[in-house]
């Protein structure tokens, strides 16, 4: 059992880690995914499917963008650091 304060610290750390990548991706993905439904009348269940599909796509793109950024950054940091022999 993890104390609530530790759980909140882990959640806040996770949110902080990915917030910039989330910010960069969510507008584009939401616009792209929801453009197909412009002018459509959706039932509540269909709205939930669209919402969770968009959420999943944004979270996936966020994770991929973050990992790509980290890999590129680590690569260039490796070029700056002299290699020990």
Q: What is the pTM of this model?
A: 0.73
Task: Please say whether the beta carbons of 63 and 15 come within 8 A.
Answer: no
Q: CA angle, corner 79, sides to 76 and 83, nearest 5? A: 145
Query: Could you read off the pLDDT of 25-72 as tens digits, one per residue?
Result: 999 999 999 998 888 899 999 999 999 999 999 999 999 999 999 999
Quick one: tokens of 37?
A: 């439904």
Task: Please say whether the beta carbons of 12 and 48 come within 8 A.
Answer: no
> pLDDT-based confidence at 85, cuts 50/70/90?
low
């Amino acid at each position: 059992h993890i104390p609530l304060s530790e759980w909140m610290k882990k959640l806040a750390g996770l949110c902080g880690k990915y917030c910039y990548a989330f910010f960069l991706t969510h507008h584009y993905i939401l616009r792209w995914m929801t453009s197909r439904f412009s002018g459509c009348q959706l039932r509540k269940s269909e709205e939930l499917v669209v919402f969770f599909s968009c959420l999943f796509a944004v979270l996936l793109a966020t994770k991929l963008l973050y990992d790509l950024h980290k890999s590129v950054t680590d690569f260039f940091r490796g070029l700056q650091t002299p290699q020990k022999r």
